[in-house]
Amino acid sequence: MSAPMLELRGVGKSYGSRAVLRDVNLHIFEGEFVCAVGYSGSGKTTLMNMIAGLLAPDKGELLFDGTPIQGPSLNRALIFQNYSLLPWLSAQRNVELAVRERFPELSSAEVREHARRYLQKVKLGHALDRRPTELSGGMRQRVSLARGLAMEPQILLLDEPLGALDALTRAELQDEFVRLQEQEHRTILMITNDVDEAVLLADRIVPLSAGPGATFGASIPITTSRPRDRRKLNDDPCYHHDRKAVLRYLLAHGPQDTARAASRRQQRSAVMSSALEVTPV
Amino acid sequence: MFGFLCVLGLWQISCHTWAQNLPTPAKTWEMSRLYITDPFAKRGEMDQGILRFTWNSLVLVTKGYLIALLIGTPLGFILGSSRGFAKTFDPLIQMLKPISPLAWLPLGLVLFQKTTPSAIFTIAICSMWPTVLNTAIGVRNVPQDYLNVGRVLRFSRKKMLFKILLPAALPYMFTGYRLSLGIAWLVIVAAEMLTGAPGIGGFLWQEYNSLIYEHIILSIITIGLIGFLLDWMMQAVERRMGAALS
Ligand SMILES: Nc1ncnc2c1ncn2[C@@H]1O[C@H](COP(=O)(O)OP(=O)(O)OP(=O)(O)O)[C@@H](O)[C@H]1O
Ligand SMILES: [Mg+2]
C-alpha cells in the first residue's frame, strides 16, 4: 500500500498539567472511512483540532501527505461538533463562503451553483435562503456537512457530527452518510461516541481510551459487508462481531481516575457482558 | 397618556402652591404657540421657530456624533482584539468617561478658539465612550467557533475582520451607537448654554436670562421629545440589526 495520507506519530497534548492525549498513533489511507470512537471528554475534539491545524501538539508529529501539519489547510475540512455556522448568513451563503476560499478561480455564479449543488446533495435544496436560526438541528448539521463536502477536501474531518441530534434524526442522517459515502468515496475521519454508528459507517474503527492521557487502541477493521442497511445489519454475524470487538476495548479502557479503578473495571466487565447481549434496533 | 395627564395636573397644582414663578400649562401654551405653529420661522438670530432651533442643534450633534463613531469604533476594535491594549487603556477610559461636558467645553474653547468646533469637540469626546466600550465587548465576545471557521478557511486578516468580527460584533456596536447618541443629545444642551449658539439649548438659556420662563418649559419638552424620537429610531435600527444577525 502507498504512504498514508494522514499519519500521527506519538502525539501528546496537555492543557496545563492535565495530560489529555498521550502517544496517539494513527494512519489513514486515501479513500478510507475511519471512525474514532471514545468517551466524552477524552480529548476527541482536541485531537481533531490538531489534525485541522487549529492547535499544535506538545509532543509527536502530525503528517499530512508526508509533510508536517503547520496550520489549517483547505485540503483538510473540519466539520465542527457544534456546526459553527455563521448566524448572519443564509445556508447558501455559509457554504459559498467556504467555496469561494477553496476555489478562488470560480466566478460568483459558479460559486453559487457549486454551493447549491452540495446543499441539494444533503437534501436542503428547499432551504437555501434560510438562516441557521430558522433551521432545525438536523438541517444545520446538513448545512455544515455541505460546507465541508463542497470544499472537496482531500480529507474530511467530522467531529461528532451527529452528537447533538435526537435519535431519529440521527438515524436518518446516518443513512444519509452511508448513501453519500457510496456515491463520493471520500477520505473521512469521523469522531463519534456511538459504537453502532461507527460500525454502520466505517471501514475501520480506532477506539480511544478514556482520559486523562487518552490513546488509541489497535484499529479494528470492520468486516460488515457493504452496502450496509441498518435493517439488515442484525442478521449479519460480522456486524455483531465487529461491534463486540469495539465495545470490549472501550469497556476495558474506560474512565479510571481513582484507586478504585480496578474494582470498577470488574463491575464494568459485568456490565459489558450484558451490554454485549443487547442488539441494536 | 394617563402619565401625561398626571404630570399636567401636578404642574397646574404646583403653579398655584409652592412654585409661584412657574408658568401654568395654559400660559405656557399661549406664549409658545407662535414657536410651535410656525416652527421653521426665522425672526432673528435668537428668535426662531422651535424646530429650526432643533434643526441647528441636530446638525451640531450629528457632526460631533459622527466623529465619535468614526474614532470610537476602530478604537473599540483595537481595544477588544488586543489584551495588552485593553490592559493599558481601560483605566484611562474609565477615568475619561465620567468627565462632565461642562469640563470639556472650556478645554475645547482653549484648543479651537471658536465656539462651534469646541461644541463639536465636547459632543464627540463625551459621547464616544459607549461606542468604544460596547464595540470592545462585542469584539471580545465573538464566539471562538466563528473565529475557528475563519481560521480553517484560512481567512486573511482583512477577511477575518469584515466577514467574521464585524458582523458578529455588530449588535453590540449598535447598542453602543444608541447610547452614544443619547449622550450626544444630552451634551448639546449644555454646550449651547455655555456657547450661546442658536440652538435649542442656547434658546433655553437666553429665555431664562430674558425671564420668559414659558419658553424654558417649551424647550425642555422639545428636548425630551427629540431625545425620545432619536432613541426610538436607533432602537428600531438596532432591532433590525439584531433580527438580521441572530
Ligand atoms: N482550551 C482548553 N483548556 C483546558 N482544558 C481543555 C481545553 N479544551 C479541552 N479541555 C479539556 O480537555 C479534555 C478533552 O476535551 P475535548 O473537548 O477534546 O473532549 P471530547 O472528547 O471532544 O469531549 P466531547 O465528547 O464531550 O466532545 C476535557 O477534559 C476538557 O476539559
Ligand atoms: Mg468534542
Mean pLDDT by 10 residues, chain A (281 residues): 86 89 91 90 91 92 92 92 90 94 94 94 90 91 92 93 83 85 88 89 88 80 80 80 84 64 51 46 40
Q: Which of these three, A118, A152, A186, is where a domain ends? A: A152
Residues A266, A243 share a domain: yes
Higher pLDDT pick, A20 / B213: A20
Q: How far are the Cα atoms of A27, A188, B131, B226, B241 from residue B69, in angstroms, in the given order?
A: 53, 48, 7, 20, 17
The answer, yes or no, to whether the previous bond of A227 is cis (omega within 30 of 0) is yes
Ligand nearest the Cα of residue A211 is: 1
Residues A108, A61 share a domain: no
Q: What's the pLDDT at B245?
A: 59
% of chain B residues with pLDDT over 70:
94
pLDDT average, residue stretch B212-230: 85
pLDDT average, residue stretch B33-60: 76
Residue B207: how many other CB atoms lie within 10 Å: 20
Q: Whose CA is nearest to atom 15 of ligand 1?
A: A43
pLDDT average, residue stretch B223-238: 89
In sequence order, which residues have a C-beta less than 8 Å from that of residue B166 and are 6 or more positions away? Answer: none
> Is ipTM over 0.85?
no
% of chain B residues with pLDDT over 90:
31
Residues A209, A71 share a domain: yes
Residues A168, A134 share a domain: no
Q: What's the pLDDT at B220?
A: 87
CATH, residue A234: 3.40.50.300
Q: What's the pLDDT at A83?
A: 84
Residues A146, A94 share a domain: yes
Residue A120: how many other CB atoms lie within 10 Å: 13
Nearest to A280 by CA among A250, A252, A246, A255: A246
Nearest to A102 by CA among A49, A154, A158: A154
Tell how strand A18-28 and strand A6-15 pair up: antiparallel
> Whole domain around residue A56: which residue ranges?
1-75+159-281
Residues A261, A217 share a domain: yes
Q: Which of these three, A93, A121, A152, is where a domain ends? A: A152
Q: Which of these three, A152, A171, A189, is where a domain ends? A: A152
% of chain A residues with pLDDT over 90:
44
Angle between helix A137-150 and helix A167-184 axes, rounded to 10 deg: 20
First to last CA, chain A: 37
Nearest to A275 by CA among A196, A181, A189: A196
Residues A42, A23 share a domain: yes
Atom of ligand 1 nearest to the CA of A193: 25
**Ligand 1 pocket by C-beta < 6 Å: which residues?**
A 15, 20, 40-46, 81, 160, 193, 211
Distance, CA A68 to ligand 1 centroid (Å)?
Answer: 24
Let me know if domain B47-245 sits in CATH 3.40.50.2300: no
How many domains are contained in chain A?
Answer: 2
pLDDT average, residue stretch B42-64: 81
pTM recorded for the entire structure: 0.80
Residues A123, A65 share a domain: no
Q: What's the pLDDT at A274?
A: 45
Residues A181, A44 share a domain: yes
In sequence order, which residues have a C-beta less than 8 Å from that of residue B196 and are 6 or more positions away? Answer: B115, B202, B205, B206
- Per-range mean pLDDT, top range of A198-202, A276-280, B36-40, B112-116: A198-202
Q: Which residue of A has its CA nearest to B171?
A: A88
Q: What's the pLDDT at B244?
A: 64
pLDDT average, residue stretch B202-216: 78
pLDDT average, residue stretch B148-171: 91
Cα–Cα distance measured from residue A137 to residue A216, given in angstroms and rounded to the nearest whole number: 30
Q: What's the pLDDT at A132?
A: 92
What residues flank ion ligand 2 with Cβ within 5 A?
A 44-45, 81
Q: What's the pLDDT at A277?
A: 47
Is B154 near chain A, with CB under 8 Å? yes
CA angle A268, A273, A279 (to 5 degrees): 120
Residues A164, A141 share a domain: no
**What's the whole-number average pLDDT of chain B?**
84
Distance, CA A54 to ligand 2 centroid (Å)?
Answer: 14
| pLDDT tier, B239 (very low <50, low <70, confident <90, very high otherwise) | confident
Residues A95, A210 share a domain: no
Residues A268, A166 share a domain: yes
**Least confident range of A63-72, B50-59, B71-80:** B50-59
Q: What's the pLDDT at B242?
A: 66
- Give backbone dihedrals phi and psi of B240, rounded to 5 degrees, phi first: -65, -40
What is the CA B175 to chain-centroid distance, rounded? 13
CA distance B120 to chain A (A): 35
